[in-house]
Amino acid sequence: IRKSALLEFVPPAGSIDDVGGLENLKRWLAKRNGSWLPDAARWGISPPKGVLITGVPGCGKSLTAKCMSSLWGLPLLRLDVGKIFSGLVGSSELNMRASLRLAEAVAPSILWIDEIEKGFGSASSAQSGDSGTSQRVFGTFLTWMQEKSSSVFVIATANKIDALPPELLRKGRFDEIFFVDLPTDSERRTIWSLHLGKRLREGEALGGELALTEQLVADLAAGTDGFSGAEIEQAVVAACFDAFAERRALRVEDLQRAVVSTVPLSVTQAEQVAT
Ligand code: ATP
């Protein structure tokens, strides 16, 4: 499968070490590597059904999912739940079934359901006009999750856990649910090192003025409390553009300026609550 209408083959990308923080989740996944192999039965275990990762936007949920195929050496298929609901009567369920069959056809495999709340968010509420279809598609998925014996590991990512139907969170569906929060100070140090280190390695014109010292990383982390991983990356990129615009090496001031001009989503949301 290179690309089908509903499922997209995600080529192996990056290593799980590119994900800063999220240690519990990474450990959980690493321990289950190879659990689909017949040999695993000697330990009295069966392959996990799946994991749900929810939490703050831009903190590494999708990044972790994208690293799954290199972590486990299995094909990774991304399901666009939005496309399941095609608008033609009856075909949404067929779409769902076809997607699950495709993932089974290449098993052992990993099925990544991105933004699962977008597809199933309305499934348990009767308010939405399409909730009948949504409920049936959701039911198809739930039954498959519960009964599946094939080695298709589901990794579902969601921004809003409260938008998900409670049935999805019940025992027997996902083996584990992880909540990803904004990075702590030490996680921000790792994320700064990862992103800044990568740019300095790849962009030969950036180096020369700035050394990636522990002190610099500690200062940047301390100045970016409330930033998500994505916002840290955004600040690194903005600083690189400052250097590029003047065709010179990267300076600490570029990074400081980029940090100051980035208003993290967490601050914007806190302001909205306060007003
Ligand atoms: P969303 O729900 O908004 O998609 P997300 O949690 O899935 O949020 P990602 O797509 O994983 O966020 O993050 C966007 C980008 O930000 C990543 O591709 C990566 O470059 C950077 N990033 C986010 N979190 C981390 C992290 N923990 N470590 C390293 N980079 C990160």
Burial class (CB in 10 A: 0-12, 13-18, 19+), 72: buried
Closest ligand 1 atom to 19 CA:
28
Q: Pick the more confident residue, 274 or 215.
A: 215
* 190 in contact with ligand 1, CB cutoff 6 A: no
Provide the CB-side half-sphere exposure for 54 (13 A, CA). Answer: 16
Tell whether ligand 1 has an atom less than 6 A from the beta carbon of residue 47. Answer: no
Q: Does position 265 have pLDDT exceeding 90, yes or no?
A: no
C-alpha 155/C-alpha 241 separation (Å) is 35
Determine the pLDDT at residue 25.
97
Please give the Cα distance from 113 to 158 (Å, whole number).
9
pLDDT of residue 101 exceeding 90, the answer is: yes
pLDDT: which is higher, 170 or 45: 45
pLDDT of residue 83: 80
Q: How far is the CA of 223 from the centre of ligand 1 (A)?
A: 19
Q: What is the pLDDT of residue 2?
A: 42
Verify whether ligand 1 is closer than 6 Å to residue 71 (CB atom): no
User: Is the CB–ligand 1 distance for residue 19 below 6 Å?
Assistant: yes
Which of 59, 66, 202, when mutated, tests ligand 1's pocket best, judged by the most ligand atoms within 8 Å of its CB? 59
Q: What are phi and psi of 227, to 5 degrees?
A: -80, 145
Task: Report which protein residue has its CA nearest ligand 1's atom 16.
Answer: 230
